[in-house]
């Protein structure tokens, strides 16, 4: 069986080979090949960095052991080195094990954010709008590009539903734990008596799907065009530019009407449709892999209540990991990094524990 040391050395060798390839004229002249090699190199960079540190610690350990075995006046210094190096080695081994866990192939992808008002009427739609603002601000902090693909409004001006694409580095990796039911407890602006109401909003984070991943036969689609309704600029509501696409085998319906161009609305609708079909395919496969469910923090079940936002107590609670923060206002301003990091840490810990059980 290949040792950890051998695996790390193989990764280092591969990384150096890829680095050399990036300097070859034939690769530099091919943007497709350059991008492919760069992506592979980036995927193993963190492991290589840990591996180099680990191999150096192993070498230092061996040197200190030799000095200790020889005895003499340097023995005490050698023992001190060993006492410091062993915990460092254990820490690096844990980090390396996490890095070696099977990667979610979707983690580096862009994502589609879908927010729908649930129970609670107008208050639910207003909170859906607040959540969209929260994610928009987080995307801005991360340097991502967010574009609204589809939106529909309630009578109070909140969102019945909004769908947006988010493009940038590791978008799906950062946001995938946000899928599920978000519950809000607060006094609605529509409540004259000052009573606290509980409402819900459903969030879905879907990896962006390529045409190769989700093949759609044009014969399986019904495409309808109509005049846009609701909010929209001049021209949007006066031409038949809105597009409704129905995927007949699954009865999945997508509507896009925000662009003046029928062609642009169709392209956006197809992007949403592919993402929804990919998500449905992945959910079916995940249910079949029931043994893996216990290793998940929760990354896709829309019916799972994942978080409560309690405004009177300035408290946000993530129910999956028992995390409670008394900084709701900050979170609603898009400061999600602490929550995201805690969810990732918990997920990695569970996956690592499961991998150790199976090994």
Tens digits of residue pLDDT in 33-66: 998 999 889 889 999 999 999 999 999 999 999 8
Average of per-residue pLDDT across 272-278: 88
Q: What are phi and psi of 115, to 5 degrees?
A: -120, 130
Residues 6+ apart with CB under 8 A from 303: 180, 181
Q: What whole-number distance in Å separates Cα of residue 345 and Cα of residue 347? A: 5
Q: Give the pairing of strands 305-310 and 180-186.
A: parallel
pLDDT-based confidence at residue 82 (cuts at 50, 70, 90): very high
What's the confidence (pLDDT) of residue 233? Answer: 45
Q: Read off the DSSP letter of residue 291.
A: G
pLDDT at residue 311 tops 90: yes
What's the confidence (pLDDT) of residue 331? Answer: 96
The answer to whether the CB of 101 falls within 8 A of the CB of 355 is: yes
pLDDT at residue 97 tops 90: no
What's the confidence (pLDDT) of residue 254? Answer: 87
Q: Which residues pair with 201 in a beta bridge?
A: 117, 182
Distances (CA, A) of 257 to 67, 160, 227, 279: 74, 15, 8, 23
What's the confidence (pLDDT) of residue 1? Answer: 41
pLDDT at residue 203 tops 50: yes
What's the confidence (pLDDT) of residue 239? Answer: 61
Q: Read off the DSSP letter of residue 177.
A: G
> Which of 115, 182, 174, 106 lies closest to 144 in space, CA to CA?
174
107 vs 297: which has the higher pLDDT: 107
pLDDT at residue 294 tops 50: no
Tens digits of residue pLDDT in 223-267: 888 877 655 444 444 567 888 899 998 898 888 887 778 888 888
Share of the chain above pLDDT 70, in %: 88
> According to DSSP H, which parts of the chain are helical?
4-21, 25-28, 31-70, 75-100, 122-142, 171-175, 262-288, 328-332, 337-358
Q: Give the pairing of strands 323-325 and 305-310.
A: unpaired
| Window from 70-79, 110-119, 333-342 with minimum mean pLDDT | 70-79
Distances (CA, A) of 358 to 90, 242, 308: 20, 52, 34
Q: What whole-number distance in Å separates Cα of residue 9 and Cα of residue 61? A: 18
Q: What is the pTM of this model?
A: 0.73
Within 10 angstroms of residue 49's Cβ, the number of other Cβ atoms is 14
pLDDT-based confidence at residue 17 (cuts at 50, 70, 90): very high
pLDDT at residue 95 tops 80: yes
Q: Which residue has the tokens 């990384």?
A: 15
The CATH code for residues 111-349 is 3.30.70.1660
Share of the chain above pLDDT 90, in %: 46
Dihedral sign for Cα 178, 98, 207, 299, please.
negative
31-70 and 4-21 are packed helices; what angle lies between their axes, rounded to 10 degrees?
140
Tens digits of residue pLDDT in 123-177: 999 999 999 999 999 999 999 999 998 888 888 889 999 999 999 988 999 999 9
Mean pLDDT taken over the chain: 86
Average of per-residue pLDDT across 269-298: 70
């Amino acid at each position: 069986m290949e040792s950890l040391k051998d695996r790390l050395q193989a990764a280092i060798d591969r990384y150096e080979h890829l680095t050399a390839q990036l300097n070859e004229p034939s690769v530099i002249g091919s943007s497709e090949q350059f991008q492919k090699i760069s992506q592979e190199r980036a995927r193993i960079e963190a492991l290589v960095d840990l591996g180099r540190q680990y191999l150096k610690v192993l070498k230092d350990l061996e040197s200190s052991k030799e000095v200790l075995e020889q005895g003499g006046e340097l023995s005490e210094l050698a023992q001190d080195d060993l006492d410091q190096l062993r915990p460092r080695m254990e820490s690096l081994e844990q980090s390396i094990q996490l890095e070696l866990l099977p990667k979610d192939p979707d983690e580096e992808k862009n994502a589609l954010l879908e927010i729908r008002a649930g129970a609670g009427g107008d208050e639910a739609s207003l909170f859906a709008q607040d959540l969209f603002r929260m994610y928009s601000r987080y995307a801005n902090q991360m340097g991502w590009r967010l574009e609204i693909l589809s939106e529909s409004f309630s009578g109070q001006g909140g969102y019945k539903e909004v769908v947006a694409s988010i493009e940038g580095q590791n978008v799906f990796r950062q946001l995938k734990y946000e899928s599920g039911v978000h519950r809000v407890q607060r006094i609605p602006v529509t409540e004259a008596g000052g009573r606290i109401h509980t409402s819900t909003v459903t969030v879905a984070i879907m990896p962006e799907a390529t045409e190769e991943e989700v093949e759609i036969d044009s014969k399986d689609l019904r495409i309808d065009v109509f005049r846009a309704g609701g909010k929209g600029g001049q021209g949007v509501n006066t031409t038949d530019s809105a597009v409704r696409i129905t995927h007949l085998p699954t009865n999945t319906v997508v509507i896009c009407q925000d662009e003046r161009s029928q062609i642009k609305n169709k392209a956006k609708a197809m992007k949403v449709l592919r993402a929804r079909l990919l998500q449905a395919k992945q959910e079916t496969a995940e249910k079949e892999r029931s043994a893996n469910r216990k290793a998940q923090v929760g990354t896709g079940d829309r019916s799972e209540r994942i978080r409560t936002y309690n405004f009177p107590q300035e408290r946000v609670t993530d129910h999956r990991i028992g995390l409670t923060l008394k900084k709701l206002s900050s979170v609603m301003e898009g400061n999600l990094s602490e929550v995201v990091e805690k969810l990732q840490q918990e997920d990695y810990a569970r996956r690592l524990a499961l991998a150790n059980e199976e090994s």
